[in-house]
Amino acid sequence: MGLAARYVSGYLSTVPPPGSAPLVGTDATHAWLSVYCPPTGWIDFDPTNNQICGDRHVTLAWGRDYDDVSPLRGIVLGGGQHTVGVAVNVVPMGDAL
């Protein structure tokens, strides 16, 4: 179709608005895609939650794929078994700013 696309890395709002179900992928990093549709511009789609992205999606970075915008990178040195546990809460600040 000749449309530009990009990979989007970010987070989802942890607490859903009243009357809404929680989105799949909260409490951890999340990813979705963005497509450039002239004359509208970039439109983000979350296929995991089957929706167009909105205020509950927080963008951290754009890239070609996961390797371009990986939220975590590093090297673990040492012996024995290691496990990593990550949990993220994303909540609106309201009028605090």
Q: DSSP letter string over 25-75? A: TTTS-EEEEEEEETTTEEEEEETTTTEE--TTEEEEEEESSHHHH-S----
* Coil, strand or helix at 10: strand
Whether 93 maps to a domain, the answer reads no
Range of the domain at 15: 5-68
Q: Does a structural domain hold residue 82? A: no
Number of domains in the chain: 1
Residue type, position 40, single letter: T
- What digits encode the pLDDT tens for the residues 57-95? 999 999 999 989 887 777 777 777 877 777 777 777 765
In a domain, 12, yes or no: yes
- Is residue 32 in some structural domain? yes
Inside any domain, residue 88? no
- Domain-embedded: residue 11: yes
Cα angle 77-78-80, degrees, rounded to a multiple of 5? 135
Task: Tell me the per-residue pLDDT of 1-44, one tens digit each, with 9 for 90 and over.
Answer: 888 999 999 988 887 778 888 888 887 788 999 999 988 999 99
In this structure, is residue 38 part of a structural domain? yes
Q: What's this model's pTM, rounded to 2 decimal places? A: 0.75
Specify if 31 maps to a domain: yes
